[in-house]
Structure 1
Amino acid sequence: MSPSGDGSSVTDCCCSCSPGENNGFHNDNNRSILVNCKHSVKSGSPSPSCPSFTSLLCLDSIPLKDWEKLRRIFIASAKGFTIGAGIKGGLAIFSILARLQRRKSPSSLRKEVAITNNEAIILAVKETLRYGLFLGTFAGTFVSMDELIGALGGHRRTARWRALLAGAIAGPSILLTGLGTQHTSLAVYILMRATVLASRCGIKSKRFGKICKPLTWKHGDIFLMCLASSQILSAYILKQESLPPSYKSFLNKHGGKDIVILQGVKDIARGLPFTNLEAIEKYYKTVGVNVTLDPNMKVPCSIVHENQSCTAHIFSFLLQAYKRALPVYLPVYLIPALLVHRQGLLKRPYTLLAKGLVGTARSSLFLSAYCASAWMWTCFLFRIFKRCNIPMVAMGTFPTGLALAIEKKSRRMEISLYCLGRAIESFFTCMADEGYMPPSITMKRADVLIFSLSTAIIMHCYSQEREVFRSKYLNVLDWVFGVPSPCETPRFKDT
């Protein structure tokens, strides 16, 4: 009921009018007219309550004061710094703990003499501060440009392109992570995220809807994973230097094969004479297997799985890969349960813990099946065609992406986009190394340009096409950047 008791209810809408002269309102043609606005207050009557967050920000269309804008800039910078430092610091803590665990073994002591624990801690602190400054500066720069452009050109006149320009200007803040540090992987991944948002906007558009129709394919995420797998796993076998060091280390661990074995497969795939058959035989002796390799072999199955058959190798490898995958996903599911759902954990601990364990088991099965199927499909093709070459390796690693179907639907696109970003980076690195890309089109800091372009698209979608975001991402963006009054910047659409 309304305060006046006339039976009308107060709605949650926010009018698009602005205060004018003579207590009236200006319409789009600047004609002063008197209207009965739902948010107007009768003389002598108390101000009606507006329950929604949008209406609370409206405040009868009074623009934000300068100190409020400065406060928004400061808060955005502080929150951006908190997120950057928190994420990088958390990863650094896990890395240091893993390092301390590895140093207990004598073999790892010989490998890690180049850097001490104190140096590793100092480096982690520096990286944490750098990433905090990066995201803090990015958030502060975007909000500053958003407010400055709006103040100079008018919030409504610049609403459709202001966030696009502000996002592009804020992009070079990635240089704060280190002037000599390349972030191609991060830039390409953000570009993939921006492309997804742009495609969702295209699907909604009447002009581009038909063009973007294939992007609505139900299993498009699995197809993207297959494309990414073909490049990533081919590079893992044939050209590991095209992959980022951390990702290469991850693949070497979960690929389950020693580097000398990969070198043997690489030699036969490239049609080169074997250079390390003796090293492969020595490696198998260290694990208790005696194998004699034929230098005239046509397929590398005996190199990959010694005296085992292809079928037996797949099952034994799958079991070993599952044991390697469990420690990867256990913290991914259990730590959020302890931090984010700690209150629910006290009320229904068995339900949440069971859900986390099921998720851990499922994701671990995906990763182990993914790695095992890579060797399964390549062996399958090698045996059928009686040969091993680069096209066969690319073809054999393509269907490996089908393992993504094991994961739940909500995680598939995230995983496929992450891998696709790595694949694109590896592909262009291979093209440049082979001389297929002219030096004139290569840039020293292409990562900054790509990142700036991507952030421009993302922030434009955040400002104008908010419905293309998932709610969890939109909540984070709103928390960091703040939502200006919809009466000043019409970001919210009437529903």
Structure 2
Amino acid sequence: MNRSSTDSTPPTPSNDVFTTRRAMVSFENLVALANHQERLREAGKMVWRVRGEPVVELHDLGGCLKHAATGGIRSGALAFNIRAAFNLILVFIRLRSIPKKQRLPIIGRAIFGRDTWRFAAMLGTFTSVYKFLINALPLLMPTVKFPSNPFFDDDEAAWHTVQVPIPSPRHRRRSQRLSLSTQAQQVLVRKKTRRWHAALAGFAAGGLAVLFETRGRRVTIAQQMFVRGLQGSFNAYTTARNITIPFGDVILFALINAQVLYASFMRPDTLPKSYRAWIVRASQVPKEGVDMNYDLMRSRTFNSTDLDKILYSNVTPENAASLLAKKEAFYLGAPNSIASSEAGCHCPCEALHPGQSSCWDVPSARFFAVARFMLPVYGALHFLPPILFRTKAFIQDPLKILAKAGFGTARSCTFLGVYVVIYQGFVCARRVIHEFLTSMSPRSIFKIPQWLVDFLFMSRAAYWWPGLATGLSLLIEEKKRRAELSMYVLPKALESFWNITTGKVPGGFKGGKAGEALLSALGMAMVMSTYQMEPHHLSGLVRRILYQFIGAN
């Protein structure tokens, strides 16, 4: 009886069986977790491209068209989200000043407004057209060869192109489960092609895509792309010929600002109105003082309304009394009035800094006023990118990121404050230096010819060469930001120089859509030929942006 009951009882599993099952379950959970994380990474790549992605091999036009379409849709969606997020940030900054009834419609326009759709259409079109041409041209014209020429010579590409090995068939299944190595992710991989293929693809894509934007933005985008193309081409040229220019970014910045500041004072019609208005606001100089100076230099007269506005502003009693006396002397035709100089007449210092009675008090007051004015702008530029785009590093060490951003903000504010102080100091010292050099004895060995003294300190040139000195302020900025600042201002200087030398009327060249598209096409031809062959010659910002939208090919 006992034996039968014992035989009918199922055997009890041993501890080894439970241990094995638990191990199998744990292993399956680990595999599921790894697969889930891999899927998350793959989904993240659809939004943000990691470095080291291999080149997509395409062998027919159908594949090129499909690759271009998917890339264009991805770029359009990414551009839409970026522009919508940027618009939302701008809306939230001024949300308190917006009536509650208007907040929801404004937020809706910020996300789904025309500007967002235009931006998405522009970048989506550029990506799709460029991807199709850069992959289709080698299939359509595989045997076209050009004479030996540095522009078409592609030998250098072999030194900078990373060859991604294709796994053998027996290891293909396992290779597809593996992520890119850390070393591969540090390399910018791109398709090896001929330089003229990239230039032609960039020309067509850039000229077509920019037409989706409004006219004002088309001009800005075309100018920026053109100077970025010049930057990449210049870097490639100087590197190939081992040409080094010490402090080249500072020299370029000095020349740029000499032209911009001269145009701001003497030829405001050659600068965009919005840009000139920003210069006046950032310099903390009364607009009426700048207008008075322009009228006095041009016609030896001025609008009394401008002087009255300065007198009713935050002006010190000493400056008010001095300005009233000079106003009376000017209208009475006194020989010592502000328009009596034969070499040129300038706005008195009291009108350029009415809040400071002495020119010696101007530098410190102007420095802190400019730094305070630019603090929100530079704060956003330094704090937002690391928080939004380097979230993981920010979470791991927030104090380090915030300290670095704070130091960068203070550095940038100091740069612009010193910039304004340098130029303002030269403007204030101009008349004193002129009087000192004029009063020197003719027998002195340091005596400068009077015509040269008048030219340097009393003519229109007195507003050009001090701009060269402002280039020294760029040494305060971080080295990697110097070229970016120069590239930002260069289009305005080139536009002003073109309008002055060609005698163009306000507004400059009226090329319409064709002119803007042509300028953008030329710029993108240079940019994309450099990006596809020698991306290290482009600035880091441009290179990273292009990689997110274009990738390897």
Q: 1:47-90: per-residue Cα shift (whole Å, max 9, x none)?
A: xxxxx968x658xxx75466643342123212432454344434
CA contact (8 A) 1:130 1:176 kept: no
Q: What does residue 226 of structure 1 align with?
A: 254
**Following TM superposition, by how much is the alpha carbon of 1:99 offset from its aligned partner in structure 2, in angstroms?**
5.2
Alignment of 1:463-478 (within 5 A): 463-469=532-538, 473-478=542-547
Mapped partners of 1:408, 1:266: distance in 2: 35
Q: Distance in 1 between matches of 2:107 and 2:285?
A: 28
For 1:161, what is the secondary structure of its paired residue?
Answer: helix
Written as runs of structure 1 = structure 2, the 5 A alignment for 1:394-433 is 394-433=464-503
RMSD: 3.3
| Pairing 1:204–2:239 present | yes
* Equivalent residue number for residue 85 of structure 1: 80
**How far does residue 401 in structure 1 lie from its aligned partner after superposition?**
2.1
The answer to whether the 8 A contact 2:58-2:135 is kept is no
Unaligned runs of 5+ in 2: 1-50, 146-192, 331-336, 339-344, 436-456
CA deviation string 1:131-189 (max 9, x = no partner): 11111101111111222222211289672321111111112224433465463333222
Opposite residue 397 of structure 1, the aligned amino acid is: G
Task: Name the SS for the 1:274 alignment partner.
Answer: coil
1:304 aligns to what? 352
Which residue of 1 is the match for residue 306 of structure 2?
A: 279
Gaps of 5+ in 1: 1-51, 105-114, 485-495
Q: TM-score if structure 1 supplies the norm length?
A: 0.73
1:69–1:147 Cα contact (<8 Å) kept: yes
Give the drift of 1:456: 0.7
What does residue 72 of structure 1 align with?
A: 67
Letter of the 2:353 counterpart:
H
Aligned partner of 1:342 in structure 2 is 391
- Per the alignment, do residues 371 and 198 of structure 1 end up closer, same or farther by CA in structure 2, a change over 3 Å counting? same
**Which residue pairs with 1:448 in the alignment?**
517
Q: CA deviation at 1:382?
A: 3.4
**Distance in 2 of aligned mates of 1:235 and 1:117:** 42
Aligned residue for 1:317?
366
1:115-194 correspondence to structure 2 within 5 Å: 122=109, 125-154=113-142, 159-178=194-213, 180-181=215-216, 183-194=218-229
Which residue, 263, 275, 279 being the options, matches 1:251? 279
Answer yes or no: is the 8 Å Cα contact 1:226–1:398 preserved in 2: yes
CA 1:474 to 1:175, structure 2 compared with 1: closer, same or farther past 3 Å?
closer
1:266 is aligned to 2:294: yes
Aligned residue type for 1:256: Q
1:460 aligns with 2:529: yes
Is the CA contact (8 Å cut-off) linking 2:210 and 2:218 kept in structure 1?
A: no
Note if contact 1:260-1:280 (Cα within 8 Å) is conserved in structure 2. Answer: yes
Query: Percent identity of the aligned residues?
Result: 22
Q: What is the alpha-carbon distance in structure 1 between the residues aligned to residue 480 and residue 218 of structure 2?
A: 27
Q: Which has the higher helix share?
A: 2
Does structure 1 retain, via aligned residues, the 8 Å contact 2:378–2:409?
Answer: yes
Q: Measure how far apart 1:455 and its partner are.
A: 0.6
3-state SS of the aligned residue for 2:303? coil
Output the CA distance in 2 between the equivalents of 1:407 and 1:376: 21
The structure having more radius of gyration, on CA atoms, is 2
Q: In structure 1, what residue type is equivalent to 2:123?
A: L
Query: Partners of 1:401 and 1:453 in 2: how far apart?
Result: 29
Following the alignment from structure 1 to structure 2, what is the Cα–Cα distance between the partners of residues 121 and 383? 57
Q: Secondary structure at the match of 1:270?
A: helix
Residue matched to 1:483: 552
Cα gap change, 1:160 to 1:175, in 2 (>3 Å): closer
Q: 2:460 aligns with which of 376, 381, 390?
A: 390
Quickly say closer, same or farther: Cα 1:188–1:383, change in 2 above 3 A.
farther
Note if contact 2:418-2:473 (Cα within 8 Å) is conserved in structure 1. Answer: yes
Q: Which amino acid aligns with 2:546?
A: L
